[in-house]
Amino acid sequence: MRGLTRLADLMLLNVLALVCSIPIVTIGASSSALYYAMGHLIHDEGTPTRDFFRSFKQNFVQATGLWLLFLAAGAALGFAFVYYLTTQMTGGMVLLMLSSLVLLLWGLMLTWVFPLQAKFTNTFWKTLNNALLLSVAYLPRTLAALVVNLIPVLLYLFYPQLFIMAGILWFALWFSVATWINLKLLQKPMDKMIQATEENAAE
């Protein structure tokens, strides 16, 4: 019975996240809310719907700003990557490699920014700075979480038939499951941040 209840909660959060992401500009607030509610669900705290909308409201402005920044940067980096990949020019390979590295860093930071937004109360730039530092300090964990997040994209690009076959999974469960896995990967570094903050406050 408990397993069925947990499955229903995951499906509910998945639907809430999808519906609240439809305007596109609200993806950041929706992602933060999903991480917040999932964190409570993992620890058997609160109620999924109430937690989701509480976080959505509280983090809306800053999470939306972070998302729009990453959206614009990602579009620019993606354009640069495709341009250097398809254009023959002097130094093009070097520029392609540089744009690839920056795009990777963008993905690593994006992996962290909304879990941090959901967990901590920080300024816009402090959240970005923490996302950068944690991406580098915990690179293996961050790469693993990034790969999890990219599974639908990779399936679509390389195995489109499998992607279509799993279509109902994306709408019913995937984003909740990916968030749950990400939290399992990223929770330990965030706990260390909380411990360090508490120790600094006690001094």
| Cα distance between residue 7 and residue 180, in whole Å | 12
The stretch 175-190 carries a mean pLDDT of 96
DSSP state of 25: T
Nearest to 86 by CA among 74, 95, 73: 95
Q: Is residue 123 left, alpha or beta, with left meaning phi > 0 and alpha meaning psi from -120 to 50?
A: beta
pTM: 0.93
Of the candidates 36, 93, 2, the residue with the CA atom closest to the CA atom of residue 13: 36
Domain that holds residue 109: 2-202
Q: How many Å apart are CA 36 and CA 40, to the nearest integer?
A: 7
Which of 64, 69, 56, 77 has the alpha carbon at shortest distance from 25? 64
Could you give the number of structural domains in the chain? 1
What confidence score (pLDDT) does residue 94 get? 86
Q: pLDDT tens, 75-112?
A: 999 999 888 888 877 777 888 899 999 999 999 999 99
pLDDT-derived band at 26, boundaries 50, 70, 90: very high
DSSP H helical ranges for 87-138: 92-119, 124-137
43: nearest Cα among 187, 199, 194, 193: 187
